[in-house]
Structure 1
Amino acid sequence: MTQGQELVIEHLAAGYGKVQVLWDVSLHARPGEFVAVIGANGAGKTTTLRAVSGVVKPTGGHIRLGGQDITRAAPSQIVGLGLGHVPEGRELFPLMTVRENLELGAAMRAEARATQAQTLDHVYTLFPRLRERQGQLAGTLSGGEQQMVAVGRALMGRPSVLVVDEPSLGLSPLMTQTVFEALKAVNAEGVTVLLVEQNVGLSLKLADRAYVLENGQVVNEGTGAALLADPRVREAYLAL
């Protein structure tokens, strides 16, 4: 995998039409860091990731990837600069095979196309089940297997920064652990990871640093361990 780049978000404002969701979001992930964003439903976590990948256009603030301003860039340009996005809900092509879905992830970058076979083998090493299922239609897979494909597809683009939206949604504890172990392995290889996840306990245990998002604004930040021990976080998100 490619070495990680820095991702910087400064005073980000964004929304959908006349509905503003993000008001003043500032966070960053240093090269090779694992950073988590936690918060309740509707806090703006998914919108933040969509703004980073260019799907939602910011109305204020700046986003930089590896020092380059991507605030107004098209999604294809952002992918070309090294961003991989694992969307909430997976968004696979159900009538295409596992391998075909994975290979689509390499289509947008010349570097990824040139090393497609090598990267595919790496994805199969991370997720051996996908090698077994590579000829199967994606729509016939279990939820956990589909999540593996979604992560693998993003990795096929050889990203330097991987943003991941709610990977445990609808998964069993065992499948959740499998997916999170793969994300940690990718991060250990040097890829910067920005994770949005409602499994707060697991996220904070894995994260180098984390941010708490409420009503479109960052209200707390710190190391994963510090936030995991914070009484306010434990009461609000861990029911402790």
Structure 2
Amino acid sequence: MTASQMQGQELRIERLAAGYGKVQVLWDVSVRVAPGEFVAMIGANGAGKTTTLRAVSGVVKPTAGRVLLGGRDVTRAAPSAVVALGLGHVPEGRELFPRMTVRENLELGAAMSARARSAQAQTLGQVYSLFPRLEERASQLAGTLSGGEQQMVAVGRALMARPSVLVVDEPSLGLSPLMTQTVFGALKAVNAEGVSVLLVEQNVGLSLKLADRAYVLENGQIVKEGTGTALLADPSVREAYLAL
């Protein structure tokens, strides 16, 4: 990916409330990711991090507040429309099609955008450059890959949509330290070339080291924000999330 091909857009979440049926999960959540910025969101399990990303991508419909992507209100937009406007979502659990090949899973990422379809071959080559192992495994069924390889496919599939904003949910879940470094290195490389990134991640120390800024989400509300460096040094954050 190159910055000239995928310029980052601003993502703005304003006073968001959301949940599932009668169960409210988020209250008054506001988050901003500036164009080209790398932002982390940390919090305990059940804090509402995944729900926030699902609301951004249109999978969960907010009950209040709004989501702006590049200044456009996408609060009520269908997920396919949000993708077409420049959002890539790497979901928790990867959600690959195990009986399809690596290449077929990747190509699905370009299906929702005419712009992405027209550049599919070029983008596929760029994904393979980012993750050479996927080119080696292109004809292999996704369900037979290791967990780390499957995570590469999930990230690559989101990149096939040629996003300007990438939201990533728990990419290190179940991965070895070496594979975690590989996946995070790819995310930083994509961000360095202009793509805005909002990362939800259980590895708090690594997330805060990489992030320009970060938010702490507790019980569905933002309780703290600051630079990654400042939050990494914050005694309350270190005690709650780093066991220090």
Q: Same fold (TM over 0.5)?
A: yes
Letter in 2 for 1:31: P
Return the match for 1:131 from 120, 129, 135: 135
User: 1:157 corresponds to which residue?
Assistant: 161
Distance 1:152 1:101 in 2: 9
Shift of 1:50: 0.1
Q: Per-residue CA shift, 1:147-180, capped at 9, x if unaligned? A: 0000000000000000000000000000000000
User: 1:66 corresponds to which residue?
Assistant: 70
User: 1:180 corresponds to which residue?
Assistant: 184
Q: How does 1:30-45 map to 2 (within 5 A)?
A: 30-45=34-49
Q: Per-residue CA shift, 1:54-89, capped at 9, x if unaligned? A: 000000001100000011111111011000000000
Q: Does 1:238 align with 2:242?
A: yes
User: 2:232 corresponds to which residue?
Assistant: 228
Q: How does 1:44-83 map to 2 (within 5 A)?
A: 44-83=48-87
Letter in 1 for 2:102: V
Q: Does 1:100 align with 2:86?
A: no
Q: Report runs of 4+ in structure 1 exceeding 2 Å deviation.
A: none
Q: Does 1:200 align with 2:204?
A: yes
Distance 2:167 2:193 in 1: 15
Q: Per-residue CA shift, 1:120-152, capped at 9, x if unaligned? A: 010001101001000000000000000000000
Letter in 1 for 2:85: L
TM-score by length of 1: 0.99
Distance 1:70 1:108 in 2: 16
Letter in 2 for 1:101: N
**Residue ranges of structure 2 left out of the alignment (5+ in a row):** none
Q: Name the SS for the 2:32 alignment partner.
A: strand
Shift of 1:35: 0.2
Distance 1:51 1:38 in 2: 17
Letter in 1 for 2:215: Y
User: 2:21 corresponds to which residue?
Assistant: 17
Return the match for 2:11 from 7, 25, 33: 7
Q: Name the SS for the 1:94 alignment partner.
A: coil
**Residue ranges of structure 1 left out of the alignment (5+ in a row):** none
Distance 1:191 1:124 in 2: 18
Return the match for 1:115 from 115, 119, 142: 119
Q: Per-residue CA shift, 1:7-29, capped at 9, x if unaligned? A: 00010000000000001100100
RMSD of aligned C-alpha atoms? 0.4
Distance 1:100 1:27 in 2: 34
Identity over aligned pairs, percent: 85
User: 1:84 corresponds to which residue?
Assistant: 88
Paired positions, count: 240
Letter in 1 for 2:225: E
Q: Name the SS for the 1:176 alignment partner.
A: helix
Q: Name the SS for the 1:164 alignment partner.
A: strand
TM-score by length of 2: 0.98
